[in-house]
Structure 1
Amino acid sequence: MLPYDEYIALAGNEPRIPAGEAVPHEVVSVQVKNRWSLIRAWRECLGITQAEMAARLDVRQPTCANMEGPDARPRQATLVHIAQALGISLDQLDDRMAGQHTSPSAVPMQRLPTPVPRDPTPPASSATTPRT
């Protein structure tokens, strides 16, 4: 196995996708369709397995799986390493940049109104009354 430092030296420090570029449609599409995190969508589109990603990040595969979970919130330093391992810019891991706010996590959530509790007793009109 090639140590990550040597990998970076051989691959160069330039991201495969230049900084400032938008997130490709393919990445956003699989992210939205599968409800994946942007990290996983990038990894899948680039054809990198979780085991390969874990090796690039020098972590175990379950740790890699946790990092790309839908509710994961990796620290900035971790995101820098992930971007380097994927060969993309840090901006391209920002959900807000994905497809110019087309990812589900980039859409602002709106709070629904609190439902009014229903009265368990039936209305008076539906009560049974004796018929004559």
Structure 2
Amino acid sequence: MIELLLTIQLTMLFMMLLMMIIPYMKPPSSYQTFQVYQFMGTLEKEIQTSSDTYIINNTLYLTTLNGDLVSITHYQNFIRRQVNGQGHEILLRDVKDFTVTEDEEIDIIIKTTEEALFYDTIVPFTSR
């Protein structure tokens, strides 16, 4: 009988400690991962359908086939898209850092506010 009471007490203590720890155990956000991959796919399509791409001060500029200048840049906790310097279309939220570099291809690095790191390389169809 004493063993049974001791076992019940230990189980209750363990459950109480577990209930205190559970709120701090946060699984990685698969929804945010999906959003980043969706953004990368959309960005790749936009780069492939543009007539020219270049990067100035970590801002990606695309010239569309109809002559509009599209800029994609990090703004506050967002990645935003502007057409001809106007508008404010949010493409991705909860972004801590957005880095764009160009050599033969365009390298994109995104660091989210949850400290997740994403990397993609896009080769534009346009000739340099």
Shorter-chain TM-score above 0.5: no
Structure number with higher relative contact order (C-alpha < 8 Å, ≥ 6 residues apart): 1
Between Structure 1 and Structure 2, which shows a larger proportion of helix residues? Answer: 1
Between Structure 1 and Structure 2, which shows a larger proportion of strand residues? Answer: 2
